[in-house]
C-alpha cells in the first residue's frame, strides 16, 4: 500500500467526521431565533447539541477503534434515514448519506489497519 493511500485511509474518516459534527452543530444555533431568556436558550441549545455530543463521543472512540466509528456512524445514518424517510429525501442525502460514507471509510480503515500502520511508519 502506498504511503498516500494509507494516509488517506487513516485520516479521511477522522477529518470528515469532525467536519460533519461541526456541520450539524450549525443547526443547533437556530434556537437563538426564538424568544426567551438565557436559561431557555441555554437548555434549548443543550438539547439541540445532543447529536453533536453523540458524534463527538463516536469520534473519540473511533480514533482508536475504527470499527466503533463505523458502527456508530452507520447506525446514526440508518436511524436518521428511517426518521426522515417519510418527510423528505433531500435531508437523507444531506445528513444521512455523509454518515454512511464516513462509516464506510472507518470500516475500510479498520480492515486495512495493519497495512496502514506499516505504510505510515
Tell me what pLDDT residue 5 has: 92
Domain chopping of the chain, boundaries: 3-120
pLDDT above 90: residue 85: no
Asked if residue 70 lies in contact with residue 103, where contact means CB atoms within 8 angstroms, the answer is: yes
pLDDT above 90: residue 76: yes
pLDDT above 90: residue 33: no
CA 87 to CA 57: how far, in whole Å? 28
C-alpha cell recorded at residue 91: 435531508
Over the range 78-92, which residues count as b (16 or more CB within 10 Å of their CB) and which as e?
eebbeebeeeeeeeb
Could you report the per-residue pLDDT of 38-68, keeping only the tens digit for each? 888 888 889 989 999 999 999 999 999 999 9
Helix, strand and coil content of the chain, in percent to the nearest 5, comes to 90, 0, 10
Asked if residue 116 lies in contact with residue 12, where contact means CB atoms within 8 angstroms, the answer is: no
pLDDT mean over 65-81: 94
Tell me what pLDDT residue 31 has: 81
Amino acid at each position: 500500500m502506498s504511503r498516500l493511500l494509507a494516509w488517506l485511509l487513516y485520516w479521511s474518516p477522522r477529518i470528515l467526521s469532525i467536519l460533519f459534527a461541526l456541520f450539524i452543530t450549525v443547526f443547533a444555533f437556530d434556537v437563538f431565533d426564538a424568544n426567551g431568556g438565557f436559561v431557555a436558550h441555554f437548555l434549548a441549545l443543550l438539547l439541540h447539541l445532543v447529536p453533536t455530543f453523540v458524534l463527538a463521543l463516536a469520534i473519540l472512540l473511533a480514533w482508536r477503534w475504527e470499527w466503533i466509528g463505523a458502527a456508530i456512524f452507520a447506525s446514526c445514518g440508518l436511524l436518521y434515514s428511517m426518521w426522515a424517510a417519510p418527510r423528505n429525501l433531500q435531508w437523507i442525502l444531506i445528513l444521512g448519506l455523509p454518515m454512511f460514507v464516513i462509516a464506510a471509510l472507518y470500516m475500510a480503515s479498520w480492515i486495512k489497519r495493519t497495512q496502514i500502520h506499516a505504510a505510515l511508519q
